[in-house]
Amino acid sequence: MEPLYDVIVVGAGNGGLVAAGTTAKNGFKTLLLEKHNLPGGCATSFIRGRFEFEPSLHELSGVGVPGNRDYVYNIIHDLGAEVDWRYEKNMFRAIVTGPDGYDVTVRSGIKGFCKSVDEAVPGSYKKVMSLFKLAKHDGKALDYITRKKGKPNKLVMALRYGNFMRAASHTVEEVEKAFGIPEKARNIVNTYWCYLGVPTSELNCMHYLNMLRSYVEFGAAMPAKRSHEISESLIKAFRDNGGEVWFNSKVTGFLTDDSGKVCGVEVNGQKIYAKEVISNIIPNNVFNMMDQKKIPSVDLKLANSREFGVSVSTIYLGLDCSREELGIDDYTTFIMNHPDPKVQHDTNGLYIVNCLNTVIPESSPKGTCTLFFTTLCYGKDLPDLKPEEYKKYKNELAEKYIGEYEKLTGKDIRSHIEEISVATPVTFARYLDTPDGTIYGYRLSDWDNLMARVAHEAKEYTIPGLSFVGGHHIRGDGYCSAYYTGSFIGSRVVRKLRAAQEAEKEEASR
C-alpha cells in the first residue's frame, strides 16, 4: 500500500519528540503517535491537591547558560521550541552516614568543583582538575567517532586523540586511580554515578566524565514549569512545522512487507503506512509486536542479551510550609549509607532529596514547598506483593526515607505533609510499559558500555525501515541522551529520505 506518511514516530517521549520535530522541520510528512493524552513520557507533571509535581527530572545537563550554550539547548532551540530555564547555584550536597562519612557541598564551575573537593580532601585540586582536562579532550574524540559512524581514521585517533585511546576502555575508578586521586576525593567526584545507574567501578570513564563535565562546566538547569514545559514546547514546534500528532493512540503492531522492511504500524484498529518508522519504545517490546519471522536473529540476540537498567521509587511531598521555614538551602542532596558507589548500588543505599523551590521559588503556592525523595532499585527485586499489600508497602517506603531524612537533618517533615504520593517501579511499568519498570533502558556496563555502543552503532539493530531513539539507544537513558538520540536518528532519517528523493528524480529524468 502507498505510504500515507514519510515518517511515523511511535512514542512522544523525549527522544520521539525530538526525532519527530527533526523530520517535520525538514519538510517530511510526519505522524507522531502517543498512547497517553499528553506528550513527554517521563517528561511531564502531575497534580495532587494544590501542588504540581515533577515526576522524574532531577536536573538537566547539556543546557548551558546564556553566552555558553550546550548541545541540549541547541537541539531544542533549533527545533523552534522555547523553554524558561532556571539554574542551580551549587552542584549538590553529599551526605554519607557511618564511620567514614562526610557532609560536603560542591560548588558549580570546574574551578569551584575542584576547590570544593580540595577543601574536603586537601591536595586533590590538581588531580581532580586533570579529570576535566581529559573529559574535554575526550568529548571531542567521541564527537569525531560518532560523526564517522563508529569508523574513525586510526591515524587521526592516534595523533589527535591519543589520551582517549589510552583511557577509553577503562572504568571511571581505574582512570581516577591512575591520576592518583585519593579515595575520599574519588567518592565525592563520583556522586553522580546514580544518574547513569551503574557504579563507577563498572562504568566507562568517558561516559561518566563527559556527563560530569557537562554538569559542572555548563551548569545544571531546570525548566521553570517542570519538564512538561519542554514536552509541550516541542509538541508546539512540531505542529508549527506541519507535524501531525495522535494522542490516546497506542500502537499494537509493527508492520513489515515481504522483504522484511518495517513499513507501518497498527494503531486504533487501523493500519498506517510510512516510508520510515522511528520507535521510542524499547526494542524488546517492539519485537513482541512484530512478525517474529521477520526479525533478524542478530537483533533478537542483542535485545535478549542486554540487561535492563534500574528503575526508581519516588516519594513526592507537598508541604504546608516554606523551604526557608524548614531551613532547606540545597536543591539536590545525595544521602548515602557508604562512601563507595559499589556498596551504594548493591545495597540500594543511596537516595536523592530535591527541593525545587530553591531553584524555582514559585514552583508551589506561597508559603509552601515540595520535596521528592528518589532511590534507585530494580523492579525485579521488589517483594512479591499481593494487591492488598501494595499500599502498605508504599507507606512503609515513605516512612523509612522520610524518617531517615528527619533524623539525619533534624528537620520536621511529617507534621507539614499536606500531599503525598509514592511511585515504585510498578508505577513506571504501568505508565511507560517498560520491562521491570526500567527508566534507564539497558544497563550500560561490561560489554554493553557507551564505547561499545558508539563503535558498533551502525549494527545496533538491522531491520530496514526501523530506527530506535530514547534511553535504550547508544547513550543510555537520561533526558540529555534521549534528546541527543532523537536529533541524531531524526537527522539520519532525513538524509535517507532525501537520498531516496534524489534517486527518484534521477530515475524519472532518464
SS3 for 159-219 is HHCHHHHHHCCCEHHHHHHHCCCCHHHHHHHHHHHHHCCCCCCCCEHHHHHHHHHHHHHHC
- Give the bridge partners for 52, in sequence order: 47
pLDDT in tens, 334-355: 999 999 999 999 999 999 999 9
CA 118, distance to chain mean position in Å, is 30
- Cβ burial of 459 (10 Å; 0-12, 13-18, 19+) is exposed
Cell of 199: 557504579
Q: Is the pLDDT of residue 158 over 80?
A: no
Q: Across 233-377, where does the E strand assignment appear?
A: 244-246, 251-256, 262-267, 270-279, 311-319, 332-336, 350-354, 369-377
Q: Is the pLDDT of residue 149 over 90?
A: no
Tell me if 33 sits within 8 A of 4, measured CB to CB: no
Q: Is the pLDDT of residue 283 over 90?
A: yes
Other C-beta atoms closer than 10 Å to the C-beta of 484 total 23
CATH topology of domain 5-46+227-307+442-509: FAD/NAD(P)-binding domain (3.50.50)
Percentage of the chain lying above the pLDDT 90 cut: 78
CA dist 367 and 325 (Å) reads: 9
Q: How high is the pLDDT of residue 162?
A: 72
pLDDT in tens, 270-282: 999 999 999 999 9
Q: Is the pLDDT of residue 312 over 70?
A: yes
Inter-CA distances, 452 with 297, 301, 444, 456, 457, Å: 20, 16, 10, 6, 8
Name the pairing type of β-strands 68-69 and 270-279. Answer: unpaired
Nearest CA among 134, 37, 39, 111 for reference residue 81: 39
pLDDT in tens, 26-57: 999 999 999 999 999 999 999 999 999 999 99
CA dist 470 and 248 (Å) reads: 20
Nearest CA among 24, 70, 5, 4 for reference residue 486: 24
H or E element that contains 102: strand 102-107
CA dist 438 and 497 (Å) reads: 33
Q: pTM score, two decimals? A: 0.94
